[in-house]
Amino acid sequence: MIPDADRALAPSDDPAFFLDRFTNILASLQDLVNQAPEGVRPRLEYIWQSIWRTRANFERTAAG
């Protein structure tokens, strides 16, 4: 699903633009983690951790 704010597909060079979206993805994924059956949850948690880390890497790079 594409959020309304992204439908214009406007380019951006503002790091906050991307960091906000990472944050939204993490929130959505956390909802899935909370609902996931036991057998699936570890892999979703792993994905959540990897996206959290990707966001942190991006934030560090953006800060120079």
Distance, CA of 35 to CA of 18 (rounded, Å): 26
Residue 49 binds other proteins (CB under 8 A): yes
Question: Which part of the chain contacts other proteins (CB under 8 A), choosing from 2-10, 14-22, 33-41, 51-59?
Answer: 51-59
Site track 2-41 with other proteins (rule: CB under 8 A), x = hit: ----------------------------------------
Q: Which residue in 16, 32, 43, 62 binds other proteins (CB under 8 A)?
A: 43
What is 13-47 written as a DSSP string?
A: --HHHHHHHHHHHHHHHHHHHHH--TTTHHHHHHH
Q: At residue 59, what is the residue type?
A: E
